[in-house]
Structure 1
Amino acid sequence: MHVMKENLIHRAIDVLDANFQEGGFTIPSKGLYPFQWKWDSGFIAVGLAHYNTDHAKKEIETLLNAQWDNGFIPHIVFHTDDDSYFPGHDFHRSDLHPLSSKRYKSTGMTQPPVTGFVLQDMLRIVDDKEDMLGFIKGQIDKVYDNHVYFYENRDPQNEGLVYIYHNWESGTDNSPVWDDIWDTMNPPEYTFERKDTTHVDASERPSKREYDHYLYIIDIAKQNNYDDAKIAELSPFLVQDPLFNAMLIKSNQALIELYEMIGGNDDKITYLKKNQERSITAFNQKLWDTELGAYVHYDLRNNTPIRHVSSSSFSPLFAAIPSKERAEVLVNTMMERFGGDDKYLCASFDPTDDRFNPRKYWRGPVWINMNWMLYRGLRQYGYTDIAERVKNDSIELVERDGFFEYFDCRKDTGDETRKGYGGDNFSWSAALVIDLLKN
């Protein structure tokens, strides 16, 4: 077992080193994703911290350097001109926003705010705590400003829950959760050349019609120069996402604890604690679905809950949001729907639902980043056996299917030569396997 573990760690390190770029950031996967992604960079930094502190620090520093003047951090930073990805910077036009970065081209949307808890994880991992704390001191205010941005600009009803205006902001790009919203929309047919399907089998990617919806939402944001108030008023997609808000809450807690270590930031700690309390209360009141026994998304545009169970439903465990009693209900829901003996934990969408697809992106496959969070959340609540299963399932999938972007949750797919899906040599899969194995 030990030799195998060491071997897997070495292979994971090779993946990360090969994907690290001269500009001081790591691409998620060669060909498919040639730029820097916000939440990817966070997870990647966790893996890098185990063996290359300089690269880990550079990863976060480079991401935060692309922050806008209003605290916003974009979901893709286009460090290079590379036309192998659509839609590129020329479609997104971040320059339309008056406060966007003048140094970097980017998108005008964001991704789950993982950076706060990532800074804390980096401190947990490294041997030289003093050096890392020095680095954190130099970066933490940027992450704080990002949280202030969310609370001041993404919470129109002042509830303590922030909205996303695009499915790409959720991180779970084509989840079946969004199908209900697509039913309320009828975007025009766009003419464009897909780049992703030249790298990956089209059956594993979103459809052309789904892309029409994605581009249409961006067009509405662009017409309004990415103004948050206008987007809140006009975007057909306006959602309070349990994963996104759980990441904000987890990162709030990390910032509070880091600022307490650093000392002298009482005003910031007070602001974070006040919002933290509001967020957790609203999260438990508004996003909990008693009948389903799970947290769900809320469609703010159409004022209705989106009643589906997905891996995002379980992310609140990682952020210590549910009570002990509610956590038990949540774990039971997960095991009943997702935990069959014929399946690996944890599918990204409810395997008992008609919309479930074990091959297609966020419509059913297993994702290592979600499992990594779930593993830690389960342990926090004392579910050590199920946590171990999540960890072992993750390792087994990577060992057998390769360092891919996502994996079939079925133990038997009927395929003798099975491999993972999506991008190969995928950075966060490699990074988080390192962290799982070294813990």
Structure 2
Amino acid sequence: MSLDALAERTLRANWRTGVRRGVPYAYTVPATPRYRHMWHWDSCFHAIAWCRYDRGRARAELRTVLRSGDPDGFLPHTVFWDAPAGWRRAPFYATERSWGSWRTTTIDPPLLPLAWEHVARASAEEDPGFATEALPALAAHLDWLQARRSVRDDGLLTIVLPDESGLDDAPAYDPVFGPHVHYRPGYFRLVRRWQRLGWDAHRIAATTDRHCVDVLVTTAYALSLHAMARLSGEARWATRAARVEQALCEQCLDPATGLFLHLAGRARTPVRVSTWAALAPLALPGVPLDVRRRLVEEHLLDPRRYRAAVGIPSVSMDEPSFLPGFDRWRTWRGPSWVNTAWWLVPALRDLGHGAEADRIVTGLTEAALRDGLREYYDPRDGRGLAARGFGWSCLLAGLVEVPSAA
């Protein structure tokens, strides 16, 4: 079976539709039986992948993501369209109540405007109005993030749980959250504490150190600001994106290593753990060329760090916390994920490293054709790990056909 056929079959098998409390939904589950709900950035990736096979479903998925939010612009991390969260699920997903909540009170990397632009471009002939139909709602979402999560009004976004980064249990969060990280029992106590504070990031950031400026989330925000500028034609969004890029370079860029580091707590202490989030600003057009080249040449092309046999490891291979195999509870501590390649490979091509980009895509393609579209892959040998038929791994089909820049 070809990679395209495998991707389309996976997306169609994971498609879900229905009505909940009078609200229609249509989305792609990441994988069954473990991942049955709708996650914000998963659905953004799914919609981009759907553009190759069914643009109507791509549009429906993004409309469902938008429908899950509030008029003020809040969009949740997870939505339980199938059934409300019960007492077993609610503590894991940071819901408003311990019973009956249909979504979380947390965020996810804010990729909706970026995904909307991808789908609008693909849908230009069959649904030309899609590009502008949600501009007020997308603007409200970006404004909500600025007002509620840029706690110092500098464009850098703060997360209050590791989950909000999408990289739940990455080792960079260990020094920030300590006994309250995602895979330890203290996580549940932290969720209860934030519930009492009303999930107000400003209050949390003012009174505790269990939070951080997150590089990946902030980069996603900047990418979405750029997308909003292109969708709307309004320069103010590009101006905001440039301000975020500048703040990342001034506050998160570590001159010693060239990496972008999370900033922990009230003191904004740099977290010196190298995960792929430290490379994420490579995708931003406003990051200076010399900074982007350094990320590539000193990290992505270094066989001691990120130049693995297959894919791009989620943690630098020279980190003590690098664990590339399967772990049920700690999944972002070494394996290679397809969405990481989707994020970073285009920048490699833009910077003239087309052969290296092709090597990464070819290695992942061979792994997928051998072991299926898995949740992630062992970067040492490409062995498929964890969930089978994983939705956002379908992004790989779109990477294969992108021509090399060199």
After TM superposition, the score normalised by the length of structure 2 is 0.89
Report the CA distance between 1:339 and its aligned residue.
Answer: 4.4
Distance in 2, matches of 1:81 and 1:406, equals: 27
2:176 and 2:212 in contact (8 A); partners too: no
Query: 1:345 corresponds to which residue?
Result: 311
Give SS of 1:117's match.
helix
Change in CA separation of 1:394 and 1:140 when aligned onto 2, cut-off 3 Å: farther
Give SS of 2:203's match.
helix
Distance in 1, matches of 2:193 and 2:224, equals: 30
2:83 and 2:102 in contact (8 A); partners too: no
Change in CA separation of 1:304 and 1:339 when aligned onto 2, cut-off 3 Å: closer
* CA deviation profile, 1:211-264 (whole Å, cap 9, x unmatched): 42332322122112223332333454211111111111111111101111xxxx
Give SS of 1:222's match.
helix
The answer to whether structure 1 residue 34 and structure 2 residue 36 are counterparts is yes
Highest RCO, 1 vs 2 (Cα 8 Å, sep ≥ 6): 1
Give SS of 2:221's match.
helix
More divergent stretch after superposition (387-396 vs 64-73): 387-396
The answer to whether structure 1 residue 295 and structure 2 residue 290 are counterparts is no
1:46 and 1:56 in contact (8 A); partners too: yes
Query: 2:74 corresponds to which residue?
Result: 72
Distance in 1, matches of 2:336 and 2:92, equals: 32
Change in CA separation of 1:301 and 1:407 when aligned onto 2, cut-off 3 Å: farther
Change in CA separation of 1:224 and 1:182 when aligned onto 2, cut-off 3 Å: closer
Q: How many residues align?
A: 388
In the TM superposition, 1:243-258 aligns within 5 A as: 243-258=216-231
The answer to whether structure 1 residue 129 and structure 2 residue 96 are counterparts is no
Change in CA separation of 1:123 and 1:370 when aligned onto 2, cut-off 3 Å: same
Q: Which has the higher helix share?
A: 1
Report the CA distance between 1:426 and its aligned residue.
Answer: 0.5
1:284 and 1:321 in contact (8 A); partners too: no
2:40 and 2:108 in contact (8 A); partners too: yes
Alignment counterpart, residue 284 of structure 2, candidates 319, 339, 344: 319
Distance in 2, matches of 1:277 and 1:321, equals: 6
Distance in 2, matches of 1:355 and 1:93, equals: 30
Distance in 1, matches of 2:324 and 2:198, equals: 38
Aligned AA for 1:355?
S
Distance in 2, matches of 1:133 and 1:159, equals: 35
Distance in 1, matches of 2:62 and 2:91, equals: 21
Change in CA separation of 1:89 and 1:299 when aligned onto 2, cut-off 3 Å: closer
* CA deviation profile, 1:324-372 (whole Å, cap 9, x unmatched): 11112111222223345x6223100010111110014100000100111
Alignment counterpart, residue 383 of structure 1, candidates 353, 360, 367: 353
Distance in 1, matches of 2:387 and 2:84, equals: 17
Aligned AA for 1:44?
H
In the TM superposition, 1:5-16 aligns within 5 A as: 7-16=2-11
After TM superposition, the score normalised by the length of structure 1 is 0.82
Give SS of 1:129's match.
coil
Distance in 2, matches of 1:423 and 1:88, equals: 22
Q: Percent identity?
A: 25
2:219 and 2:284 in contact (8 A); partners too: yes
Alignment counterpart, residue 58 of structure 2, candidates 34, 56, 59: 56
